[in-house]
Amino acid sequence: MNNNLSSDMGISEFDEAAILFLGLAHLKGVGYKTLRELGGVEGVAKGLRDLGSSFIATASKGASSDVSLSSLVQLGTSTAETLLRQDIHLVQFGAARFPAQFSELDDKVRPLWFFCRGNLDLLATESVAIVGTRSPSVNGEFLTRYAVSALQETGATVVSGLAKGVDEIAHEWALNCGLPNISVLGTGLLKSYPAKNADLSRRIVQAGGLLLSEYMPDAPPSGENFVWRNRLQAALAKCVVAPEWKRSSGTAHTIRFAKRFSRPSINLTLNGVAASPDHGVADNSFEVPRDHVAFMNALRKVDQHTEARILTLQQSLF
């Protein structure tokens, strides 16, 4: 096979391995889990180069045994061209732009690739994840905006998930405050969920933010995908702030991933307002506005912890 396939076809952004990966992802029976089990971009490309049609049959569980390698190249090339027109990029593990926060994760949870649109440089900035319920109360809405506003004092990037409720409020208020946004999606980048947030995602990118997803660009929403993407929100951030959430919720998964990755989590409540009986429990909790100074000190302490963690990682690498 031509090793300069992508440049020959005028799509130098995507190399041969990426095109084969995109092509295989179109086949029936080949989803995110299969692509991950096959080793991601390079694993798929190696399998196709070495085994050809037999690898295609195995990957698709026999559903696409009659598909040729050349047809996969055509499918992958067409997809690459679509992604380029949408300014969507593919970054795989081991690439120069792959973030250290992901690289340091153990292989069971480390992403092998992701798609992104927007300012990739934000992945090298200090960030705080703000996540929570999809049905916030008036108090929850206020606390979400308060948390984002507090980050103006630290200059942190806001990480959230563009979902209904706390996520969209956090992103909107970050835009209002002039803070950069990273949105980690539970769908593909070509699918907005909820659909009404398509305009919000566009404005995030226009304001210098970043959209990120490890799912194929046309992947629809699913509960499983949203739970699994929560680990990426926790990994990217130096801490997770959850203004309002329940113990049995998607946010609970983010909090558990944060603990696994040694990222502290923070609850916020209003002075004199008792949390609901099923409210989740984080590592730390602050009543505001009474504990504003303590909350800010906690964020600054996390800054120092993050700097030390990054220094330790750099020393281990070099």
Confirm if 193 and 187 have CB atoms less than 8 A apart. Answer: yes
Q: Nearest to residue 143, comparing CAs of 249, 280, 266? A: 266
**3-class SS at 128?**
strand
Q: Which backbone phi and psi does 283 adopt, to 5 degrees?
A: -65, -40
Mind listing the pLDDT tens digit of every residue in the chain (318 residues)?
A: 443 333 333 345 799 999 999 999 999 889 999 999 999 999 999 999 999 888 998 898 877 667 888 999 999 999 999 999 999 999 999 998 999 999 999 999 999 999 999 999 999 999 999 999 999 999 999 999 999 999 999 999 999 999 999 999 999 999 999 999 999 999 999 998 889 999 999 999 999 999 999 999 999 999 999 999 999 999 999 999 999 999 988 899 999 999 999 999 999 999 989 888 899 999 999 999 999 999 999 998 875 545 544 444 444 433
Positive or negative torsion for Cα 292, 170, 303, 108: positive
Residue 232 pairs with which residues in a beta bridge?
Answer: none
**Going from the N-terminus, what domains does the chain have, and what CATH number goes with each?**
5-85 (no CATH), 100-317 (3.40.50.450)
Confirm if 88 and 114 have CB atoms less than 8 A apart. Answer: no
Element (H, E) at 118: strand 113-118
Alpha helices in 164-284 (DSSP H): 166-177, 198-206, 223-236, 250-260
